[in-house]
RNA sequence: GGCGGCGUAGCCAAGUGGCUAAGGCAGCGGUCUGCAAAACCGUUAUUCACCGGUUCAAAUCCGGUCGCCGCCUCCA
């Protein structure tokens, strides 16, 4: 059947899409996440059809972002981008903890006012996120700006009988919250309390109870770090901060709550206790936890000198893009063993990807190749399917590398026409809305660079090798690497760290 | 002691009941090249920590053993 107008408008009607096809397609593309709450992979169904509410526990503003923080940022970014690519309108908030023991202590040590101290770290965190190519969240709330609602929540919890006051601090009474432990599987009767902590330091009625509001100390009072309440001068504890901010921005039940696995107990458990005791509704429907980043098989530790900050790596000459790729490439639910060997491998992988995209951009087009469209469709389907299946990035990248392997020989023989190159680049642009590591910009060469490349080709044609090498050195000095191929030179801007 | 995770090639890493166990790095062999570097191609696990079971069929499910890691404390 031939339709005079090309038939597009008919294709979108039910006339051409049988039910069977639609079902298969939606099954493949249905977004699935591993939910820590149910310990199962589940099809993602947000509360509203088009909108997703998404909260990530952010960092504490008293230190520079280390690789463990970076992995959390990257994983949250991936979730954010995957949701976006599925057409959801994502409301994504990540907090900064700027009011707690560590920040207060840090400010004291630095002899700085608390806000000044935390402000500088928050600025650094944001710079690090930029370096890692992380997409802006909807908002980055700070704990210090939501204390009013924390006090409000606390007073509600006291009214409902879930919290008690003792010596000017307010504690959450865990025995009152019967569902406690449903996320972590922690059985309170079997927890070894006081294993490493001196119980004499506690004024709580039960050691497993946790602080909602803490009585401000003398030095805190002196620094103005206190909030006047009916119970006295206090400041909030950590668990209530996340609970207050997530519900304030995203409502009583949010779609996705994410962070690193080690926070499941007690932080997330406590957050759930606070929020659910207050509203009677689940705090989040999907809990996504990434595994830890390890160095030499262990969690990074200051004593073992295995803490690496992003700044350390940037100083060593690695780029944010390389770190992003490294942190991206391992499935988020697997432990990631960091090493410089691995970072170098990430660098090589990127180099391979760059080599491919540069050839695509620089080499002159040739004749069309019959199989390219099929390869491309196959790759895109594999890529999207892998990401939809609990963000399987290793598998998604496998599809990309596999594609490159198939296209490389075609490309070097000059068997791609202009349309096909454009088509490949457009697909890569799509992948890059999630990956954000590919270099896909047309190289707009400065006229002087362009001239040098042409000069070198001229010299090579005349077998003036000395001149050709001089020009190559000159180009290198200007930051361009030249790779000769049978189809002509390919140039690449050298990586700037 | 409790809860949870992991163990797949020299290294990294997918695959969680059935097509030849993805992909990357390193290695080896080759192509291209004025040179150089790069690039490109080919090749690399009869077997998934170990033992036993279920099944027509297991890396994948079940039971056990061993090894590694995290959490179980305030804080993040």
Residue A481 burial (10 A CB sphere; 0-12, 13-18, 19+): middle
Is the per-residue pLDDT at A140 higher than 90?
yes
From A26-35, A56-65, A89-98, the region with the lowest mean pLDDT: A26-35
Residue lying closest to nucleotide B36, CA to C1' = A469
User: What is the arithmetic mean of pLDDT over A20-26?
Assistant: 37
A15 confidence band (pLDDT: 50, 70, 90): very low
**Nucleotide of closest approach to A195 (CA, C1'):** B73
Is the per-residue pLDDT at A497 higher than 70?
no
CA A380 / C1′ B20 distance in Å: 23
On strand B, nucleotides with any atom < 7 Å from a protein CB are: 1-6, 11-15, 22-26, 32-42, 68-76
A18, A125, A411, A443, A451 from A488: Cα distances, Å? 49, 43, 12, 15, 15
A355 confidence band (pLDDT: 50, 70, 90): confident
A238 near A266, Cβ under 8 Å? no
Which has more pLDDT, A201 or A302? A302
Cα first-last separation, chain A: 57
Note the pLDDT of residue A401.
Answer: 93
Is the per-residue pLDDT at A354 higher than 60?
yes
Note the pLDDT of residue A455.
Answer: 81
* For chain A, percent of residues with pLDDT exceeding 70: 89
CA distance A473 to A480: 9
The mean predicted confidence, pLDDT, of chain A is 85
**Nucleotide of closest approach to A482 (CA, C1'):** B38
CA distance A343 to A55: 29
SS3 A214: strand
The per-residue pLDDT for range A44-93, each reduced to its tens digit, is 999 999 999 999 999 999 999 999 999 999 999 999 999 999 999 999 99
The per-residue pLDDT for range A211-227, each reduced to its tens digit, is 999 999 888 999 999 99
Length of chain A, in residues: 497
Domain ranges of chain A: 31-290, 345-435, 447-493
The per-residue pLDDT for range A239-293, each reduced to its tens digit, is 999 999 999 999 999 999 999 988 988 899 999 999 999 999 999 999 999 988 9
Q: Domain spanning A31-290 has what CATH number?
A: 3.40.50.620
CA A185 / C1′ B43 distance in Å: 48
The per-residue pLDDT for range A481-496, each reduced to its tens digit, is 777 776 777 777 765 5
Angle at the Cα of A450 from the Cα atoms of A448 and A455, rounded to 5 degrees? 90
Note the pLDDT of residue A29.
Answer: 67
A480 near A449, Cβ under 8 Å? yes
Note the pLDDT of residue A416.
Answer: 85
**Nucleotide of closest approach to A333 (CA, C1'):** B5
CA A257 / C1′ B19 distance in Å: 39
The per-residue pLDDT for range A325-338, each reduced to its tens digit, is 999 988 898 888 89
User: What is the arithmetic mean of pLDDT over A463-471?
Assistant: 82
A201 confidence band (pLDDT: 50, 70, 90): low
Note the pLDDT of residue A443.
Answer: 59
Which has more pLDDT, A204 or A325? A325
Q: Residue A328 corresponds to which tokens in the numbers above? A: 């991206």
């Amino acid at each position: 059947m031939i339709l005079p107008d090309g038939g597009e408008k008919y294709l979108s009607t039910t006339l051409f899409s049988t039910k069977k096809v639609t079902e298969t397609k939606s099954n493949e593309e249905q977004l699935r996440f591993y939910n820590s709450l149910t310990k199962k992979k589940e099809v993602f169904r947000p509360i509203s059809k088009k909108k997703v509410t998404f909260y990530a526990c952010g960092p504490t503003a008293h230190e520079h972002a280390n690789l463990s923080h970076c992995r959390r940022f990257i994983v949250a970014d991936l979730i954010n981008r995957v949701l976006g690519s599925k057409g959801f309108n994502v409301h994504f908030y990540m907090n900064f903890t700027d009011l707690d023991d560590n920040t207060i202590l840090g400010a004291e040590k630095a002899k700085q006012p608390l806000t000044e101290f935390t402000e500088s770290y928050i600025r650094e965190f944001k710079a690090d996120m930029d370096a890692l190519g992380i997409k802006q969240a909807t908002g980055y709330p700070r704990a210090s700006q939501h204390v009013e609602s924390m006090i409000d929540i606390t007073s509600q919890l006291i009214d409902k009988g879930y919290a008690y006051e003792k010596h000017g601090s307010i504690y959450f009474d865990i025995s009152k919250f019967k569902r406690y432990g449903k996320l972590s599987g922690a059985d309170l009767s079997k927890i070894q309390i006081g294993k490493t902590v001196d119980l004499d330091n506690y004024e709580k009625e039960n050691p497993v109870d946790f602080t909602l509001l803490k009585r401000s100390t003398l030095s805190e009072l002196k620094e103005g770090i206190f909030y006047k309440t009916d119970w006295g001068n206090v400041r909030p504890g950590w668990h209530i901060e996340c609970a207050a901010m997530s519900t304030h921005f995203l409502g009583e039940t949010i779609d996705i709550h994410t962070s690193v696995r080690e926070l499941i107990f007690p932080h997330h458990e406590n957050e759930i206790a606070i929020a659910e005791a207050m509203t009677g509704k689940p705090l989040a429907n999907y809990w996504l936890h990434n595994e830890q980043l390890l160095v030499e098989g262990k969690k990074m530790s200051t004593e073992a000198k295995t803490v690496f900050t992003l700044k350390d790596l940037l100083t060593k000459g690695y780029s944010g893009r390389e770190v992003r790729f490294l942190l991206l490439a391992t499935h988020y639910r697997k432990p990631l063993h960091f090493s410089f060997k691995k970072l170098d491998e990430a660098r090589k992988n990127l180099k391979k990807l760059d080599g491919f995209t540069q050839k695509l951009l620089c080499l002159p087009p040739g004749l069309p190749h019959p199989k390219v469209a099929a390869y491309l469709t196959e790759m895109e389907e594999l890529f999207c399917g892998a990401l939809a299946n609990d963000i399987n990035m290793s598998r998604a990248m496998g599809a990309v590398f596999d594609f490159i392997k198939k296209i490389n020989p075609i490309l070097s023989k000059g068997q791609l026409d202009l349309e096909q190159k454009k088509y490949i680049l457009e697909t890569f642009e799509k992948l890059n809305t999630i990956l954000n590591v590919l270099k896909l910009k047309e190289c707009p060469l400065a006229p002087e660079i362009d001239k040098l490349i042409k000069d070198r080709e001229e010299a090579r044609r005349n077998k003036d090798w000395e001149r050709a090498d001089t020009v190559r050195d000159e180009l290198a000095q200007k930051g361009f690497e030249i790779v000769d191929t049978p189809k002509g030179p390919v140039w690449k801007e050298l990586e700037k760290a």
